Structure 1
Amino acid sequence: MKRKNWKRIVVKVGSALISPNRKGCSSHYLLSIAQFIVKCRAMGTQVVLVSSGSVAAGAHQFPDGERSDITIKKAMAAAGQTEMIATWDRLFDFPSAQILLTHADLRDRERYVSIRDTIFSLLDHNILPIINENDTVTTDKLKVGDNDNLSAMVAAAADADALIICSDVDGLYDKNPHTHDDAILLSSVANIDQSIYAMAGGAAKGGVGTGGMRTKIEAAEKAVSHGIDTYIINGFTELSFNMLLNGKNPGTHFEAHEKPMAENEHWMRHTTRAQGEVIVESEFAPNLSDNAESLTSKEIIDVKGEFSVGDTIIVRKDDGTKLVKARSNYSSCLLNFIANQENEEFASEFEEQTGPIISKKNLANLEKE
């Protein structure tokens, strides 16, 4: 480990640490995390905190509410968010700031850049950014869904050196440690593949959080591809944080890629969400990542979904092979219109005047998936 070289880290804390019993916020587990953050800052490391827990923290104020009712959950989030921020604020002797996000904020390039600028400005003024998904206003179309993946997106936006995800176990095991006594902890993972996801199992069941080990692996995959070392550690024990401060690995270290993706390509691939698909013939196999303008309406078989100019789309072959994820310069309606033109000369002239369907500057290669 090279903790001493960290210039900026993101620490992700889940609902189970914030409100273990859903009876409001508890500082029982948060105190050691807060001390870790204080010590990191004292050593010159900037910290961004991604904190779940608003719904769990506010649940006790709705004793008669149905927790499965989305309206009640939004109200719980609204009530619990202030309590959660106040709890964190009491644990620090320096100022903190609240940033509430939806996926719509992150997948819009202009708003994403604005988020980056805000985080950098807060850090430059020694203010701790505390980030959470805005559960009060988010919908299925707008939400990230879990703060593990949100923390990875934030780590990428913040240009962090390390992402530390606090869990209820010591890290990633080769099998579920809650049900297998012979489960072995993986101290490091150099490559995240399907075998790693198989160890993670499915989503979390029960408890107070929305994620499980799988979402943590997803977050790690996003982060390491941006060159961010990622650690899954046990957030319930102070020893984990003391080990990190001493340059030791207390859990599972997911090793950052030596050649990380370019910032814009990473955002396109891991943060944006495709609103539709453009299907091309299987014989169409140019390297779109280098020659995006080679995609014309002649190669298009079908257009799926409804999207507008500027929305993100997937271009794939009709055999299912994904080629690229890109920003569309055409709406689905217009693309369908020109692709269905029998007069190819008309379509070619139209595209020549209007411009390419996708551009290299707004594209991420998916052929290696």
Structure 2
Amino acid sequence: MTDLPWKRIVVKVGSALIAPHKQGCSSHYLLGIAQFITYCRAQGIQVVLVSSGSVAAGWHHFGEVDKPSVTVKKAMAAAGQADMMATWNKLFDFPTAQLLLTHGDLRNRDRYISIKDTIFSLLEHGLLPIINENDAVTADKLKVGDNDNLSAMLAAAADADTLIICSDVNGLYTQNPHENPDAQLIKQVTEINAEIYAMAGGASSAVGTGGMRAKIQAAKKAISHGIETFIINGFDADSFNQLLKGQNPGTLFTPDEKPMQDHLHWMTHTSQAQGEVIVENDFNISLDIHSEQLTSDDVVAINGDFSAGDTILVRKGDGTKLAKAKSNYSSCLLSFITDQDDREFASEFQQKTGPIISEKNIAILE
């Protein structure tokens, strides 16, 4: 073993590791992960565990069903979550704590800060936070959808320096290794671009909801916050032995040299736009937002129903996404201003009430 450079890590474990055959929880693959977490904690490294698997863990309680309804899947999640926590607790000799979240919790800034505070308090007092999406109650519009992306959001919230995503393959390959024997493992990625996304196929596991593409999306979120990210084979105990030796057992995504500030990262990758402001096609937000404020003269249309303080998407009429930002106006008031034929009135109104968006509350998109 070697001295590890990590101070705080997030480990993401998927459904296929929790309940491989949908016959309840199994410790077969979890034991090695638990030993890895235990060793890290013994070295003074703080650990947050993001664990999928509640639906898969509870599946066997509901008979032989191939395609359960949404309602039944929620019931499976409710039953399976208890089983899953009991399984993890059997593998640890230190206290754990359960956090069940929805995307609605994360995209609300006040609740997001509350989640951060709770995680920090648990870690400070020596507990292992075990976090999952609250599948038993989450409506579709409030779902993150997969725990890969959830783990990246939480890694940012926890100010982690490393995210470890467990997969059913060794990492990112040039092609799907389950279908192409000539597929080559990519050991390190310094930039996530269209070529990297093209290498990621769909979900290869029959149990989980995330695939390699979701893992790449999660890595993109994490590295933009300065968090190094590994995708490793969680079914192979040697993956964790290699990590403990300071080796790379899978694919390492190196963090961006200039990480996003926390509030801009939250706005870009976690907050969900409640509406859209459509601007002229010649509006260059990376230049114009610093030289002159976005005004009603630049606005072509307003889409959606949002309140002052909500996150909005600013895009061109041709569909190009420019930025996510906090709106200082409601959609109703902004529509009223932009619909005015008297442009002098609109200009004076904005001078008195302030800009549509403020420079400090805008995240420019790539």
Task: Quote the Cα distance in structure 2 between the aligned partners of 1:292 and 1:117.
Answer: 37
Task: Quote the Cα distance in structure 2 between the aligned partners of 1:270 and 1:3.
Answer: 32
Paired residues for 1:152-191 under 5 Å:
152-191=152-191
2:147 corresponds to: 147
Q: In structure 2, the residue corresponding to 1:132 is in which secondary structure?
A: strand
2:210 corresponds to: 211
Q: Which runs of 5+ in 2 are unaligned?
A: none
**Aligned alpha-carbon RMSD (Å):** 1.6
Task: Quote the Cα distance in structure 2 between the aligned partners of 1:58 and 1:18.
Answer: 11
Deviation at 1:350, TM superposition (A): 2.2
2:77 corresponds to: 77
Q: In structure 2, the residue corresponding to 1:27 is in which secondary structure?
A: coil
Task: Quote the Cα distance in structure 2 between the aligned partners of 1:122 and 1:57.
Answer: 25
Say which is worse superposed, 315-324 or 249-258, in terms of deviation. Answer: 315-324
Task: Quote the Cα distance in structure 2 between the aligned partners of 1:288 and 1:271.
Answer: 25
Task: Quote the Cα distance in structure 1 between the aligned partners of 2:55 and 2:292.
Answer: 46
Task: Quote the Cα distance in structure 2 between the aligned partners of 1:88 and 1:140.
Answer: 27
Paired residues for 1:260-271 under 5 Å:
260-271=259-270
Give yes or no for the alignment of 1:222 onto 2:221.
yes
Is the contact between residue 288 and residue 323 of structure 1 (CA under 8 Å) also seen in structure 2? no
Deviation at 1:206, TM superposition (A): 5.7
Letter aligned with residue 278 of structure 1: V
Give yes or no for the alignment of 1:244 onto 2:243.
yes
Letter aligned with residue 57 of structure 1: A
Q: In structure 1, the residue corresponding to 2:78 is in which secondary structure?
A: helix
Task: Quote the Cα distance in structure 2 between the aligned partners of 1:363 and 1:316.
Answer: 13
CA-to-aligned-CA distance 1:136-158 (integer Å, 9 cap, x gap): 11111101000000000000000
Give yes or no for the alignment of 1:37 onto 2:37.
yes
Taking structure 1 as reference, are residues 32 and 279 closer, same or farther at Cα in structure 2, changes over 3 Å only? same
1:5 corresponds to: 5
Say which is worse superposed, 171-180 or 271-280, in terms of deviation. Answer: 271-280
Task: Quote the Cα distance in structure 2 between the aligned partners of 1:249 and 1:361.
Answer: 38
1:16 corresponds to: 16
2:339 corresponds to: 340
Letter aligned with residue 186 of structure 1: I
Taking structure 1 as reference, are residues 286 and 236 closer, same or farther at Cα in structure 2, changes over 3 Å only? closer
Is the contact between residue 288 and residue 294 of structure 2 (CA under 8 Å) also seen in structure 1? no
Is the contact between residue 289 and residue 365 of structure 1 (CA under 8 Å) also seen in structure 2? no
1:114 corresponds to: 114
Letter aligned with residue 176 of structure 2: N
Taking structure 1 as reference, are residues 206 and 170 closer, same or farther at Cα in structure 2, changes over 3 Å only? closer
Q: In structure 1, the residue corresponding to 2:163 is in which secondary structure?
A: strand
Taking structure 1 as reference, are residues 85 and 292 closer, same or farther at Cα in structure 2, changes over 3 Å only? farther
Runs of 4+ in 1 over 6 A off after TM superposition: none
Is the contact between residue 225 and residue 259 of structure 2 (CA under 8 Å) also seen in structure 1? yes
Letter aligned with residue 88 of structure 2: W
Is the contact between residue 50 and residue 130 of structure 1 (CA under 8 Å) also seen in structure 2? yes
Is the contact between residue 66 and residue 72 of structure 1 (CA under 8 Å) also seen in structure 2? no
Task: Quote the Cα distance in structure 1 between the aligned partners of 2:114 and 2:4.
Answer: 29
Q: In structure 2, the residue corresponding to 1:291 is in which secondary structure?
A: helix
Deviation at 1:163, TM superposition (A): 0.3
2:358 corresponds to: 359
Letter aligned with residue 315 of structure 1: V
Is the contact between residue 293 and residue 358 of structure 1 (CA under 8 Å) also seen in structure 2? no
Is the contact between residue 11 and residue 48 of structure 1 (CA under 8 Å) also seen in structure 2? yes
Is the contact between residue 168 and residue 205 of structure 2 (CA under 8 Å) also seen in structure 1? no
Taking structure 1 as reference, are residues 349 and 289 closer, same or farther at Cα in structure 2, changes over 3 Å only? closer
CA-to-aligned-CA distance 1:42-100 (integer Å, 9 cap, x gap): 01110000000000001111115564411011111111101101110110000000001
Q: TM-score, normalised by structure 1?
A: 0.96
Q: In structure 2, the residue corresponding to 1:304 is in which secondary structure?
A: strand
1:129 corresponds to: 129
Say which is worse superposed, 138-147 or 284-293, in terms of deviation. Answer: 284-293
Deviation at 1:3, TM superposition (A): 6.7
1:294 corresponds to: 293
Q: TM-score, normalised by structure 2?
A: 0.96
